[in-house]
A and B are shown apart, each in its own frame.
Chain A
Amino acid sequence: MDFILNEEQTLLRDMAARFAADARARQEKTPEAPDRRWSRFAELGLLGLTLSEAHGGLGGGGVETMIVAEEMGRQLLTDPFVPTVAVAGPLIAALGEATQQAQLLPALAAGDLVVVPAFLEPEARYDLAQVATTARAEGERVVISGRKAVVLNAPEADLLLVSARASGAHGDPEGLCLYLVPTRTPGVVLRAITTLDGRPAAELTLNAVTVEATARLGPAGAALPAMEQAVDRGVAALTGEAVGAMAALFDLTAEYLRTRKQFGAPIGKFQALQHKLVDMKVALELARSVAAAAAMAVDVADAEVRRRFIAAAKVQVARSGRFIGQAAIQLHGAMGMTDEYGAGRYLKRLVVIGALHGDLAHHLERFAASTEPAGPRH
């Protein structure tokens, strides 16, 4: 493993850092409409980050995605970067037919098309195969019915990537299909919700939603492995986002310890707090490192290797995130409890990331069920 960013990656990081800081400053002054914000991402090429040059992209992979996600986390941006750029784009590129790719990917890169995955269902927790949503063929058309849970950024999406069952029993890994469903299709009902960390999301009901058979993405009945890989990409990006949030919160806390005075001294003079802050630093650096490894692992062909690193990163980030988030509030005293001060916003982001795309328990189980691959260590 090589943890050192190359020259382009360093430039990307610097650019993304400036971009995200500007975006936050602008958002705090005069909030812009979501599509205006989104087109700024496009202008810098950030939306084509993971797409091929042929489709207007930059040809980046997991590492590039992580770099941008980290800066978004640092500034607590709420735009659909992870669902669209980390998950949906690469999935369309991997599964789509040439015409689908040509139609969708340049538009995605240009910021004209926001695509978000809608995989999980109300009773499914984090299992991608627990799909009760059905897809029934009707001539040249397909009728989709079912419900999807907590679809992040759905209110801003133009197109939903919906998993549905064409055959097989509930929970069966076989029999799943992916469909591209425009949000404005009759029968698509969004119940808008706000997430704990202030992002738009929705509960999704599909009431006999009819799409052309050509709206299917990838092979019939065999979508699960690609969905899993796409979610792995999402997880890797989220761990990067979490690292950004943790790093910002760590800095905020360290600065507070330097400046807040009690008993005639900066509270950073108290050893109890110094040690707590150091433990936060340890948690941050562990998370940052394993998240970087996960970002590199995203593009590894061996699914088992990938799974181990992705799962390990999600577990580490969940634990580091809780620890850093909670310790930060504690070290700020009552100030940490206020909405205005802002430490809580990072904790909320970290809690939400912990519950997205598989929580600690889910990834712990995936990791425990995986086997350490033979051969050279990565």
Chain B
Amino acid sequence: MKFAFSPELEAFRQDVRRFVADTLSPATRAKVDEGRRLVKSDYVDWYRILHAKGWITPGWPVEHGGTDWSPLERYIFEEETALGGAPPVTGGINMIGPVLIAFGTPEQKAAYLPAMRRGDLWWAQGFSEPGAGSDLASLATRAVLDGDHYVVNGTKIWQTQAAYADMMFALVRTRFEGKPQEGITLLLLDMNSPGLSIQPIRTIDGGQELYQCFFDNVRVPVENRVGADGKGWTYAKYLLGFERHGIAGIGHAKRQMARIKRVAAAEHDRGTRLIDLPRWRDRIALLEIELMALECLSLRLIQESEAKGAGAGPGVEASILKIRGTELRQDMFELLTELTGPYGIPFDEEVMRDGWGNGAPVGPAHAATIASNYLDSRKISIYGGANEIQRNVLAKAILGV
């Protein structure tokens, strides 16, 4: 054990930090700083910058554009990009990407992987259904083979940013007897297919990034199947086990901690800054200590799994990071709403979209987005395997009963 990071890692951290500071669009960074909503171009412009640098897909094998970084380097990269205000890399890059690399045909790899790296291809994740959430294996959207096409009928729900997507990777049922897990197939659907329609779902934070997707005799060429018919469950598990280095969201939590301190320094009670009042200062300090402990745990787990030669990062312990990382960030947003006092009460949807626009904000500028950000933060303990499910996984691993 050694307190300091190696000089090489430290230099790497500085490199990433400088790169983000120099290249990320100030407009995007301002949106992230202020808690406003991003639009597709905020993401894609950043992906193109990463691509030009060769950093868009660090986790992919080198021959497909990976960086060959150590797990610790990848962790630092994720932390620094988040800390610098960069949009997260999403749109399927770290989900369907690795699956295609492992199980895709040469044609699929050629058709999709380069376009994904360039920021030209956005994927929606078509897993959940109205009747199949935590119990994903009970999914009922069906695909029936008709010549050289699958014909897909049914509905998916909760697809994030489906309106941005060019393609969807979807789990569908192709066999109807046997264990539910065994009849599932992974298909790649063009979002412009006839018979595929999407409908937005408004969320409690005022946002509209979720969709329900409907399939009415959507024809999908057989060559858009990934791997074997009926093996979709295996690929899905592979996909969900990926990219767990950053699962605790340390970079995001550090950003929120900085925001908490900014807000606590700007808000006053009877002339004293809240950050100088013990009642508030102690609560901030406690969260900061929880963050520090979680950061240490993240680093330790990554290094332990690396020492054991498990390149994919933490195993079942990833659930600890997911639980604590999400609940800590939620506590931070809760504290933010409390710090703003009465100015947490007004809500103006336009501020979330367009910033201050013409009118001056009601109350201090920092207060305008906090309530919406707080409500939005309730989702992080639901998606990506709800925290109850994570606890079930851990309990089973610990007790073995």
List A residues at the B interface (Cβ < 8 Å).
120, 122-123, 125-127, 130, 149-150, 171, 191, 193-196, 201, 203, 261-264, 270, 272-273, 322, 326, 329-330, 333-334, 336-340, 343-345, 347-348, 351-352, 354-356, 359-361, 364-365
Contacts and interface: CB of A to CB of B under 8 A. Distances in A.
Given A330-B378, A348-B375, A338 B341 contact: no
A344 B382 contact: no
A337 B382 contact: yes
What class of interface size applies to chain B in its complex with A?
Answer: 35 or more
B341 A122 contact: no
Contacts of A352: 345
A334 B133 contact: yes
Nearest to B203: A337
Nearest to B344: A355
B202 interface: yes
Contacts of B100: none
A351 B342 contact: no
B348 A194 contact: yes
Contacts of B362: 150, 191, 193, 203
A355 B378 CA distance: 19
A344 B363 contact: no
A347 B204 contact: yes
Contacts of A364: 279
B338 A330 contact: no
Contact of A334 (B267, B334, B383, B387): B383
A338 B345 contact: no
30 contacts: A120-B342, A125-B267, A125-B270, A171-B271, A191-B362, A194-B346, A262-B138, A263-B134, A263-B135, A264-B138, A272-B388, A326-B378, A330-B386, A333-B134, A333-B382, A334-B128, A336-B378, A337-B382, A339-B202, A339-B204, A340-B202, A344-B203, A344-B204, A348-B204, A351-B337, A352-B345, A355-B340, A361-B279, A361-B280, A365-B279
Nearest to A325: B378
B343 interface: yes
A249 to B, nearest CB: 13
Contacts of A339: 201-204, 206
B32 to A, nearest CB: 21
A127 B270 contact: yes
Contacts of A126: 341-342
A359 B378 contact: no
A126 B348 CA distance: 22
B379 A337 contact: yes
Contacts of A365: 279
Interface of B: 128, 131-135, 138, 157-158, 201-204, 206, 210, 267-271, 279-280, 330, 334, 337-338, 340-348, 362-363, 371, 374-375, 378-379, 381-383, 386-388, 391-392
A334 B347 contact: no
Nearest to A334: B158
A130 B342 contact: no
A339 B383 CA distance: 17
A343 B382 CA distance: 15
Contacts of A150: 342-343, 345-346, 362-363
Nearest to B330: A326
Contacts of B375: 344, 347-348
B71 to A, nearest CB: 31
Given A272-B388, A338-B203, A359 B382 contact: no
A304 B371 CA distance: 34
A344 B374 CA distance: 12
Given A333-B133, A360-B338, A201 B382 contact: no
